[in-house]
Structure 1
Amino acid sequence: MPPCTTPNTTELVMIMDVESILHMKEGLGETSYSQNSSLQKKSTEAMKHFIIDSALAAYAFKTPEIFTIADLGCSSGINSLYLAEEIIKAIHERSRQLERLAPEFLVFLNDLPTNDFNAMFLSFPEFNMKFKAGIELQGGSAPSVYLAGIPGSFYSRLFPGNSLDFIYSCYSLHWLSQVPLGLLDSDCKPINKGNMYISNTSPPAVSLAYFKQFQKDFSLFLKSRSVELHFEGRIVILMLGRRTEDHSDKCTTVLWELLDQSLEIMVSQEIIDEEKVDAYNVPFYAPSAKEIKDEVHREGSFVIDCIQAYELSTSTGDPKEDARIISMAIRAIQESMISHHFGEAIIDTLFQIYSGLLSEFMVKEEIKSSHLLVILRKSC
């Protein structure tokens, strides 16, 4: 039998269509990302001072008349304009302290074309009104803020050369451009059976396939941004990552493994087919700090000003409520891809099972998520 060089139909669909399939749950309803992104907001708030300080440093280098900001992977909902507002306020205040005229601000909001940009644009007039009123209450004159949506993958060029002062990306860069190749054996059968991501039962070839895809994607990200960013401009990245070099680090894999178990229960109940489960893999990768460092050094355009791993607890003290919050968050993120692969009919049942498994787990053990903060400065 010749080696399997062509992915089966299911894997081909997942590889080819990630850009058009992957998006956070749109709208403002109960299951929307807008209503279920409090965990991301919690982490962003914890790291906000790093982001603002980096933006201030980028501004101080050239004090431009127009300060350009790009949010890569902006999604929609309560978090979309939060950091942009905080950055603008901080730079406006720094300008006032230096007795300089505050710059105008151009904010680019980027995500994949299927993102709910409409919800974001509809919220902008209210955002702008409240923002200006807040500054004017303090006796200042509010700067002009211009907003633009930029649909497209950040694993390619998005902006003209030397057009950006500051870039931030929160909880987007752990999503790959595609499901990795190399997840099939020589007979074209899935090698990661029962797992949608890397687990401690995955063969080594699975970890290698995911790692290679991360290397390719992150290299493209850095090369693209190095062209678009001004000299001494900054990039701040918040993303899910690993504390260790072990790809099956529990902080990274536990939520995926519980979702795997939920699907296994549905197989046992004959709601879905086992083959369909075995063929489902997510385009996700949580890198280690070392893996990030290696790719930055290899690309060569950036200096690492800061890179640190940190953990966040998801606990509120009520395991049942914690399970509900996490389950709804994972649903808002994964629903588009799960619906595409398995059909919409399974979604409610799947996440009822998932919430129950989460609750059982969290009675016994607290779930902590592992995160990376990366601050890069363009050096050439």
Structure 2
Amino acid sequence: MGGRTTSVLHMKGGNDESSYAKNSSIQEKVIVMTKPIRTRAIDDLFSNNPSSRTICIADLGCSSGPTSLLVTSELVETISRTRRRLALESQEIQVFLNDLPGNDFNTVFRLLQEKDNHDVPRCYYNGVPGSFYNRLFPIESLHFVHSSYSLHWLSQVPEGLENNKESIYLSSKCPSSVKEAYHKQFHNDFSMFLKHRAVELVPGGGMVLTMQGRTSTEIGNDGCVTNYELLAEAISDMVSEGHIQEQELHSFNIPYYNPTPNEISTLIQEEGSFIIDHLEPLELDWTDYNVYETPLDKNDGFFVMKSMRSAIEPMLLHHFDEGILDDMFSRYQNKIANCMAKEIPGVTHIIISLKKKTMESSASIQDH
């Protein structure tokens, strides 16, 4: 798989047992754990924009299912409480839900009908299809931007991966040229993301971002890489047995990159439009994929597999024959279970809270 990922990079839609809506427990846990950071960002937002009659917030990479509205509902309630606490005039709230055009927006809109916002200001929801690596909104039209579990996905498979024939992603065994290609693609993408949001946010506007990352400077020492290594092994086994053509494996690469906190901090400072209020890694592990929180046993390989399948099946369907996917993921589950029997891999998330500089803050920074 190569080139732009706009048409294939989306979670598995619907509401059945294999959908993203039913297999996003770790994403939900991260959202709950990072709520205090968003609350502080909203409080800070009101100190910078107390007179705005309409507050515009955007969730970029909203996906579908219950987690797609978890953050925006929380933000709307936080804005309402903060407004009452500060005795501010009633405000209307405009919420923009963004994802790529292939996202299951219908499921999101159906969930909206089930919501009851009688205790909050007038709130207007809008779907915005498109890549957040491009401009999405008018100049200085947003007050707050949120993105969770999206920015580790690249705008395209990096160029120059011809030598990455067995890995489907990065690993410690990859040639240095492959590592550099992924590194370069993420830096280009994240820099463009920052550049466009700097145009769209009002001065003093806030942004809270969560993405998968890593704490080690070395590639290959984290649970995210292990996940893709095990999937590559499952596909390789099927190649050896003649179920998949070798070229299909050699030409398939995942458009994903998990950066270090230092990489992110450097890119933010280089772009220059934002102040970093908060940046830290958050550590979970593969047991957090378990949606039922049952005791750790052989079934935990099942939960990791289900979560991964709901996220990447559309990409696999674009590249491999649909008839082999059940076998592929059955093999993958067994490899996960064997891995977890020896060690529970960790999953690092990086939480970033940013504030767009005002003229005053820019002058203050320059003075120092």
Q: Report the TM range for the smaller structure's normalisation.
A: over 0.9
Name the CA distance, whole Å, in 2 between partners of 1:335 and 1:354.
13
Q: Aligned ranges for residues 26-37 of structure 1 at < 5 Å?
A: 26-37=13-24
Instruction: Confirm or deny: 8 A CA contact 1:309 1:373 kept in the other structure.
Output: yes
Residue identity matched to 1:181: E
Q: Does 1:163 align with 2:137?
A: no
Distance 1:60 1:148 in 2: 26
Structure 1 window deviating more from structure 2 (337-346 vs 249-258): it is 249-258
Q: In structure 2, what is the Cα distance between the partners aligned to 1:126 and 1:262? A: 41
Q: Post-superposition shift, 1:174?
A: 0.2
In the superposition, the TM-score normalised over structure 2's length comes to 0.93
CA offset at residue 60 of structure 1?
A: 2.7
Q: Does the 8 Å contact 2:66/2:111 carry over to 1?
A: no
Q: Which amino acid aligns with 1:118?
A: N
Q: Distance in 2 between matches of 1:372 and 1:243?
A: 9
| 1:247 Cα deviation after fit | 2.0
User: Quick check: 1:346 aligned with 2:324?
Assistant: yes
- Counterpart contact for 2:98–2:129, Cα < 8 Å: yes
2:270 aligned partner, one-letter code: R
Would you say 1:89 and 2:96 are equivalent positions? no
Task: Give the Cα separation in 1 of the matches to 2:201 and 2:298.
Answer: 45
Partner residue in 2 for 1:7: none
- Verify: 1:371 aligned to 2:340, yes or no: no
- Residues 70, 164 of structure 1: 8 Å contact kept: yes
Tell me the SS of whatever aligns to 1:308: strand
Residues 177-222 of structure 1: per-residue CA shift (max 9 Å, x gap): 00001112xxxxxx01210111011011111000110111111101
Is it true that 1:222 corresponds to 2:194 in the alignment?
yes
Structure 2: how far apart are the matches of 1:231 and 1:320? 51
CA-CA distance at 1:86 after TM superposition: 1.0
Q: Is 1:275 matched up with 2:247?
A: yes
Alignment-mate amino acid for residue 272 of structure 1: I
| Per-residue CA distance 1:208-243 (angstroms, 9 max, x = gap) | 000110111111101100000000111111000011
Q: Which residue pairs with 2:129 in the alignment? A: 151
CA distance in 1, matches of 2:314, 2:93: 33
2:366: which partner in 1? none
Residue ranges of structure 2 left out of the alignment (5+ in a row) = 288-292, 359-368
The CA deviation at 1:310 is 1.9
Q: Deviations over 1:30-71 (max 9, x none)?
A: 111111111110111111111222122112311221111000
CA contact (8 A) 2:222 2:347 kept: no
Q: Report the alpha carbon displacement of residue 313 of structure 1 after superposing the two structures with TM.
A: 2.4
* 2:59 counterpart of 1:71: yes
Match of 2:226 among 222, 246, 254: 254
* 1:320 shift after superposition: 2.2
- Residue 274 of structure 1 deviates from its aligned partner by 1.6
**Equivalent residue pairs, number:** 351
Matched, 1:45 2:45: no
- The equivalent residue for 2:100 is 112
| 3-state SS of paired residue (1:101) | coil
5 Å-filtered alignment, 1:204-215, equals 204-215=176-187
3-state SS of the aligned residue for 1:110? Answer: strand
Conserved? CA contact 1:242–1:251, under 8 Å: no
SS in structure 2 of the partner of residue 28 of structure 1: coil
Matched position secondary structure for 1:356:
helix
Give the Cα separation in 2 of the matches to 1:54 and 1:98. 15
Report deviation, 1:352.
Answer: 0.9
Q: Which runs of 4+ in 1 moved over 6 A?
A: none
Q: Which residue of structure 1 lines up, in the alignment, with residue 306 of structure 2? A: 328
Deviations 1:135-171 (A, max 9, x none): 3xxxxxx311100000000001000000000001000
- For 1:75 and 1:59, the matched residues in 2 are separated by 28
2:157 corresponding residue in structure 1: 179
Correspondence 1:126 to 2:88 = no
Distance 1:252 1:356 in 2: 17
Report how far residue 251 of structure 1 moved. 3.0
Give the C-alpha shift of residue 302 in structure 1.
0.8
Name the amino acid aligned to 1:68. C
Q: Is the 8 A contact 1:68 1:164 kept in 2?
A: yes
User: Which amino acid in 2 is paired with 1:379?
Assistant: K
Matched, 1:239 2:211: yes
**Which of 1, 12, 20 pairs up with 1:25?**
12
For residues 42 and 333 of structure 2, the distance between their equivalents in structure 1, rounded to whole angstroms, comes to 39
Q: Which runs of 5+ in 1 are unaligned?
A: 1-10, 136-141, 185-190
- The residue number in structure 2 matching 1:290 is 262
2:56 and 2:95 in contact (8 A); partners too: yes
Match of 1:313 in 2: 285
Contact 1:70 1:168 in 2 (8 A): yes
The corresponding residue for 2:164 is: 192
Q: Deviations over 1:275-303 (max 9, x none)?
A: 21011101100011111111111111111
257-266 or 242-251, which deviates more: 242-251
Q: Which amino acid aligns with 2:7?
A: S
